[in-house]
Amino acid sequence: MTQENIIMAEERQATWRERHQSTIRQLRLYAHTYSRNASAMLGLAIVALFFFVALFGPLFVPYPEDATGAIHLDNKLQPPSWEHWFGTDEVGADVFTRVIVGARVTLHISLFVTVVAMLIGVPLGIAAGYHGGRIGQVIMRLTDVFLSVPALILAIAIVGSMGPGVQNAIIALALAWWPGYVRLVQSKALSIRSAIYVDAARTMGASNFRIIFVHILPNCASPIIVKASMDMGMSILGIASLGFLGLGAQPPYPEWGAMISTGRNYLPDWWWYSFFPGISIFITVLGFNLVGDGLRDVLDPRGRK
């Protein structure tokens, strides 16, 4: 490389830095603010651990066959020990194994519910907020109706009519979850629609498509990210709740809520059976909430100095 080239390369880099200086500083500030927040970092650690366990845990569990309904009656309801860290259940299956495999099940379900709810809710919200008019009104009225009843009740109603089962429970939760996104995105899109810079873009001939993707979506991104993070936690609670009520996953499917549902019959003497799945739900949901909370602190300029 010649001297000149090096100089040019350096110049190019300088201009790139310069152009993105504010973005870089912004991101650094985000990272800094986030990492300064101890509880947010704790949340991040929990979520990271959860993803790790969900992705790789099932490969290392001590008794893989116990996750799918193996029976060792001679070994039933053993308290926690070196062989069975979380004890065993009423058919002698290792609770630790089932909790770990349950993490994967939980991740699958909660991701699915959150993503589907977003895929339904965000476009509807943009349509209602940006487009407005009669269609917007119809969408918002419908959203209001769905929001007028607690999501869990709605999910129970849906499962109740489709019949209990894990598939139906997932569909029910996704159907009960989307209206929140519509509200969120609609109000944001509505306020951005009339912002001066959007007017300016429109005067310069930007298409609706461009305005939606360049101006509206990026501006809705932070509240959506925060809500999605919270909703991961909430949908974990939701699916476990349905499982607990006997409307979701059915035993011996290794789902945390369903495990608690069976385990409650063995209280108080065999407490570990329902204790460990419960504490797993608690910690995981807590993690997602802390992350969502931390992200909100970072992304919400109101709370920042």
Partner 1 sequence: MLLFTAKKFLIMVGTLFALLAITFTISHVAPGDPAALAAGPDATEEMIQQIREEFGLDKPLPVQFLIYVGGVLQGDFGTSIHTGREVVSDLARFFPATLELVLFSILFAIAIAVPIGVISAVRQNTITDHTLRLFSVAGVGLPMFWLGLMLQLFFALKLGWFPLGGRLGLLTDPPTTITGLYIIDSLLTLNFTTLLESLHHIVLPAVALCFPALASIARVNRAEMLEVLSQDYIVNAKAQGLSKFRIVAIYALRNAMLPTMAMIGLRFGWMLGGTVLVESVFNWPGVGLYAVEAAVASDFEPIVAVTVLLGFMFMLANLAIDIVYGILDPRVRGANI
Partner 2 sequence: MSQPIIEIRNYSLNFWTFDGVYHALDDVNLTVEKGQSLGIVGETGCGKSVTVRNILGLLPSPPAEVVSGEILYDGKDLLKALPAEMHRIRGIEIAMIFQDPMTYLNPVFTVGRQLVDVVLAHNRARGQGEKISRKDAETRAIEMLNKVRLPNAEKQMSNYPHQLSGGMRQRVLIAMALIGRPKLLIADEPTTALDVTIQAQILELIAELVEELNLSVMMITHDLGVVAKSCDRVAVMYAGKVVETGTVAQVFDHPAHPYTQGLLRSIPHPEKNVSVLEGIPGFLPNLLDPPAGCRFAERCPRALDICRKVTPVGNPLAGGHVASCHLAEELEAASA
Q: State which amino acid sits at residue 88.
A: T
302 binds partner 1 (CB under 8 A): yes
Kindly tell me which of 140 and 216 has the beta carbon lying closer to partner 1: 140
Of 52, 33, 53, give the one whose Cα is nearest residue 41: 33
141 binds partner 1 (CB under 8 A): yes
The Cα 239–Cα 229 span in angstroms is: 16
Kindly tell me which of 29 and 267 has the beta carbon lying closer to partner 2: 29
Among residues 91, 245, 250, 251, the one that binds partner 1 under rule CB under 8 A: 245
305 binds partner 2 (CB under 8 A): yes
What x-and-dash track marks residues 233-262 binding partner 2 by CB under 8 A?
------------------------------
Report helix, strand or coil for 148: coil
- Binding partner of 276, given partner 1, partner 2, none, CB within 5-8 angstroms per partner class: none
- Binding partner of 293, given partner 1, partner 2, none, CB within 5-8 angstroms per partner class: partner 1
Report helix, strand or coil for 276: helix
Of 94, 57, 113, 26, give the one whose Cα is nearest residue 288: 113
Of 180, 236, 234, 189, give the one whose Cα is nearest residue 208: 189
32 binds partner 2 (CB under 8 A): yes
Question: 253: which DSSP letter?
Answer: S
Kindly tell me which of 125 and 278 has the beta carbon lying closer to partner 1: 278
134 binds partner 2 (CB under 8 A): no
17 binds partner 2 (CB under 8 A): no
Long-range pairs for 277-283: beta carbons < 8 A, 24 or more residues apart: 277/95, 277/98, 277/99, 277/102, 280/99, 280/102, 280/103, 280/256, 281/106, 281/236, 281/237, 281/240, 281/256, 281/257, 283/46
CB of 298 to partner 2, least distance (A): 12
Among residues 53, 113, 290, 295, the one that binds partner 1 under rule CB under 8 A: 290
Stretch that binds partner 1, among 20-28, 86-94, 107-115, 159-167 (CB under 8 A): 159-167
- Binding partner of 149, given partner 2, partner 1, none, CB within 5-8 angstroms per partner class: partner 1
34 binds partner 1 (CB under 8 A): no
- Respond yes or no on whether the N-terminal peptide bond of residue 268 is cis (omega within 30° of 0): yes
User: Cβ(113)–Cβ(239) under 8 Å?
Assistant: yes
The Cα 263–Cα 273 span in angstroms is: 5
Report helix, strand or coil for 94: strand
267 binds partner 1 (CB under 8 A): yes
Kindly tell me which of 122 and 154 has the beta carbon lying closer to partner 1: 154
12 binds partner 2 (CB under 8 A): no
CB of 34 to partner 2, least distance (A): 13
107 binds partner 1 (CB under 8 A): no
33 binds partner 1 (CB under 8 A): no
* CA count, 13 A, side-chain hemisphere, 162: 19
Residue 291 tokens read as: 């992350």
Residues that bind partner 1 (CB under 8 A): 39, 141-142, 144-146, 148-154, 156-164, 233, 237, 240-241, 244-247, 257, 260, 264, 267-268, 271, 274-275, 278, 281-290, 293, 302-303
